[in-house]
Amino acid sequence: MNITNDIITAYIDTFYENDNKDLKELRKFAEEHRVPIIQKDTEGLLLSLLKIKKPENMLEIGAAIGYSACCFADGCGCKVLTIEADRETRDIALNNVKNLGLEDKVDVIQGDARDILPELSKKFDVVFIDAAKSHYREFWDLAVPLCKDDAVIICDNILMKGMTASDEYDKGRRYKTSIRKMREFVIYINSLDYADTCVLPVGDGVSISVIDKSI
């Protein structure tokens, strides 16, 4: 389900196509096998933002099969450090990075981001959070110390197919806890003095926060 009108989303998607044929094939594979990756309109938005921001180093929390990390590295030339909790999925991501010839741009680490982030010393221009939704607050708090001044933190799936905005989209109340935590997280990031945040109804909802560490 799209949180915007499906017809509008399909229309917008006709104007975006990744130029890299290998990434096109990887997206096709993911869609055919129902592997969760960023939606096309989200991808287009983020690549445009990255080309404006021109980051040198980017941190991704939630690699999955490595599609988005490869997309970012290929699209804007930045180096991407991405973290994946599942070992088997990490191995798939590593293979995709190799097949795309991006070993010098993308580094995939396996483990729980909550354990890995406190051990990192590198500073990042952009952070992309796209992992376990109920842990977004923890990921955010651990990622902020790793941000350069004026870094951007982007969070995907922030509207959770509309469920963050209204209980009517969670008919069986199956995701009650995750929805509550996401609502709390959205309120949290919008209340921070050091973060200028906007939430956009793109893909499954994207938050974009500019970090001012001088505050």
Residue (of 83, 203, 104) closest to 155 by Cα position: 203
Residue 95 assigned as binding residue: no
How much is the CA Rg of the chain, to the nearest whole Å?
Answer: 17
Residue 84 assigned as binding residue: yes
Helix (H) or strand (E) holding 189: helix 176-191
Give the Cα separation of 38 and 62 in Å (integer).
11
Residue 184 assigned as binding residue: no
* Cα atoms in the 13 Å half-sphere on the side-chain side of 191: 7
Residue 91 assigned as binding residue: no
Q: Tell me the angle at which helices 6-13 and 40-53 cross, rounded to the nearest 10 degrees.
A: 50
Round to the nearest angstrom and report the end-to-end CA distance of the chain.
39
Task: Judge whether 129 and 182 are in contact, CB under 8 Å.
Answer: no
Residue 156 assigned as binding residue: yes
Number of H helices, E strands in the chain: 8, 7
Residue 41 assigned as binding residue: no
Give the Cα separation of 210 and 121 in Å (integer).
20
Give the Cα separation of 178 and 184 in Å (integer).
10
Q: Which residues are annotated as a binding site?
A: 38, 68, 84, 112-113, 130, 156-157
Q: Which residues are annotated as a binding site for S-adenosyl-L-methionine?
A: 38, 68, 84, 112-113, 130
Q: Which residues are annotated as a binding site for Mg(2+)?
A: 130, 156-157
